[in-house]
Amino acid sequence: MTIRVLVVDDSALMRRALTALLASDPEIEVVGTASDGRAAIEQVAALRPDVITMDVRMPIMDGAQTTEHIMAYYPTPILVLTASLSRFDVDITFKMLGLGALDVMEKPPGGDPAGLERARLDLIRRVKMLSRVRVVTHLRGRRRSVADLNTAAGQRNAPVGGPRHRRGSRPLGTGSLRRGHGSAPLRPPEPLRRSHGARLLTPAAPPAPRTALGGARHVVVIGASTGGPRVVQQILRELPPSFPAAVLVVQHIADGFTAGMVDWLDACCALPVALASAGDLALPGHVYVAPDNLHLLIDREGVLGLSPHPALLQRPSVDVTMERAAEAYGARVIGVLLTGMGRDGAIGLGAIRRAGGYTIAQDGDSCVVFGMPRAAIEVGAACEVLRPEAIAGRLQMLLRDAIARERP
């Protein structure tokens, strides 16, 4: 079946280029284009495409405003395309992911035939993958009034609102922290919420146990791919500053976007979030994210390492980080495997469980892509299957009980 794509970009040249690249695959048809967010909403309402490629900076309505409205009224898989990795563009990009966009990549380069061909293949691969994703309506976008949207889109006359004859939305698919000198103090945490009755740790909790070198004695490893940034954010935002474990995050994302994701997470979480560096000491209550194209390792004292080998299908690899953590920390590791395509993490989650640690997989109904968690569940690597909103509370309860058992 032909995949119907809407191309949204304020550059006529880029619209033509993207249309040509996508049309080079016989399974893809570009059914329309739009030069701004307001026009994109109108085209989505009229054409109901299978996938949207969405620019970040646009006149009238930017990518974030447009994504919010589309996911509220016409839920459709959105691939974010950005020409810049500037702080401003990356901030909007991750805001779009938080609002329901599913994936991100740089726009195809000009003047480099080899780079253009790689970009063509990557673009087609991502569009085909997203066309198979079933998305859900994001009701948060409906809290914005029609008047607000029309104000943002005031250069046009036609009102923006929900569709008159909207199809039913598709169901939800199956070293030390290097923060720089003089950095701002940590933001106060948001009020803690209870999740499924789990008792949460509070900032008044006893000091977290440490290794001989002062690193965290307990480690949580979180692995994710497609749809992961928003779920990772949801979990980390629920963890208080007194969280007694170090958190290692391995997120599959296009090259060049990891640093922006770290800034995005750090800005909205009570725990400090940093890009992992070789030689860092993994501290309790800190989050370390694997850099682009490097595996994240940890030893028995909590010292982090980075490695380009082996060059597996995915680098960074969730399996590699989880296996190293299991080897170094044994029963003091908790593994969490979230939404994503493929099988990365199933072997690592199994290694943690065999070492005596605890493992959690995201449930299928809440996953954008149920590939990675399902693979782990099928091989018996998951001790428990949970929705994202239950995971933070469960982590705190597991760590509280484990630390209590260790104390004399």
Distance, in Å, from the CA atom of 92 to the CA atom of 99, rounded to the nearest integer, reads 10
pLDDT class of 24 with cuts at 50, 70, 90: very high
Distance, in Å, from the CA atom of 152 to the CA atom of 149, rounded to the nearest integer, reads 5
pTM of the model: 0.82
In this predicted structure, the answer to whether residue 360 has a pLDDT above a threshold of 90 is yes
In this predicted structure, the answer to whether residue 212 has a pLDDT above a threshold of 50 is yes
On whether the 3-152 domain is CATH 3.40.50.300, my answer is: no
Of the candidates 35, 131, 195, 225, the residue annotated as catalytic is 225
Answer yes or no: 252 catalytic: yes
Distance, in Å, from the CA atom of 137 to the CA atom of 230, rounded to the nearest integer, reads 15
Answer yes or no: 344 catalytic: yes
Q: What value does the mean pLDDT take over residues 80-106?
A: 89
Of the candidates 9, 62, 344, 363, the residue annotated as catalytic is 344
Delimit the domains of the chain by residue range: 3-152, 219-406
**What is the pLDDT of the chain when averaged over all its residues?**
86
Token pair, residue 222, equals: 């979180």
Beta-carbon contacts of residue 226 (< 8 Å; ≥ 6 apart): 102, 103, 129, 130, 133, 252, 339, 340, 341, 368, 369
- pLDDT value of position 408: 75
Of the candidates 252, 317, 319, 366, the residue annotated as catalytic is 252
Residue 353, amino acid: R
Contact predicate 40/54, CB 8 Å? yes
Token pair, residue 330, equals: 């044994």
Q: What value does the mean pLDDT take over residues 274-302?
A: 97
- pLDDT value of position 1: 86
CATH number of 219-406: 3.40.50.180
Taking the alpha carbons of 61, 65, 270, 273 in that order, is the dihedral positive or negative? negative
Of 385, 311, 322, 386, the closest CA to residue 350 belongs to: 322
Answer yes or no: 183 catalytic: no
Q: What would the DSSP string read from start to end of 246-280?
A: EEEEEE---TT-HHHHHHHHHHH-SS-EEE--TT-
pLDDT class of 136 with cuts at 50, 70, 90: confident
Of 192, 291, 301, the closest CA to residue 248 belongs to: 291
**Residue 59 backbone phi and psi in degrees, to 5:** -75, 165
- pLDDT value of position 204: 54
Token pair, residue 193, equals: 């919420």
Contact predicate 173/369, CB 8 Å? yes
Q: Please indicate whether the domains covering 3-152 and 219-406 agree at the CATH topology level.
A: yes
Each residue's pLDDT tens digit, 147-190: 455 555 554 544 444 443 333 333 333 333 333 333 333 333 33
